Structure 1
Amino acid sequence: MRHDIHPVSRPVVFRDRTAGFELLVPSTVDTHRTTQWTDGGTYPVVDVEISSASHPFYTGTSRVMDTAGRVQRFERRYGGTARTRG
């Protein structure tokens, strides 16, 4: 096995700013920004756009899709489906 080819694994804080959620986990991601953790240590931080704290599937705040309106708009634009052309 070759030495010195694997990335270094270290604790990294993943932060979802929209939900105010932070998670400290081991990772190999490379970042130069740091943050102060609750244990008093300073760790690299990665800001993410969405996490389990803000994702609609996990929070139960999903949006209702207007699929009927989308189908009608598609049929108006492209002239109906293959089944109705007969």
Structure 2
Amino acid sequence: MKDGIHPNYRDVCFVDLSNGFKFVTRSCAPTKETIKLDDGREVPLFKLETTSESHPFYTGQQKSVDTLGGRVEKFRNKFARVGIKK
């Protein structure tokens, strides 16, 4: 393998800002901050807006989106008064 073309993978702590959930995995994500873990290690910190712990799809709190039929009905109701003149 060629030297210098592979990313620098290392342990990185990802933190969910919405609920404080933390997990450590190997990554090459760019970081500026570090965090000290419970086991005493100091690892780079990467802050996330949402993870599987807070995303509505994974937590089961997802709201149902209006189906295609509902959108068509809204369109028909909105433009029904315009209609085609005979």
TM range (shorter): 0.7 to 0.9
| Matched-pair identity in % | 39
Instruction: Name 1:2's counterpart in structure 2.
Output: 2
Please list every run of 5 or more consecutive structure 1 residues that lacks an aligned counterpart in the other structure: 81-86
Partner in structure 2 of residue 52 of structure 1 = 52
Specify every segment of 5 or more residues in structure 2 that has no aligned partner in the other structure, as ranges. 81-86
Per the normalisation by structure 2, the TM-score is: 0.75
1:10-32 deviations in Å (ceiling 9; x for gaps): 00011101122111000111211
Distance 1:74 1:20 in 2: 42
Offset, 1:69: 5.2
d(CA) in 2 for partners of 1:66, 1:11: 41
- List structure 1 runs of 4+ shifted beyond 4 angstroms: none
Which amino acid in 2 is paired with 1:46?
Answer: F
Letter in 1 for 2:36: Q
Task: Encode CA deviations 1:27-76: one digit per residue, 9 max, x unaligned.
Answer: 11121111111111111111111111001121111113344654333335
Q: Distance in 2 between matches of 1:75 and 1:23?
A: 49
Name the counterpart of 1:64. 64
Task: Give TM-score, length-normalised by structure 1.
Answer: 0.75
Q: Which moved more, 1:64-73 or 1:27-36?
A: 64-73
- The code of the aligned residue for 1:36 comes to K
How many residue pairs were aligned? 79
Q: Which has the larger radius of gyration?
A: 2
Question: Residue 15 of structure 2: SS of its match in structure 1?
Answer: strand
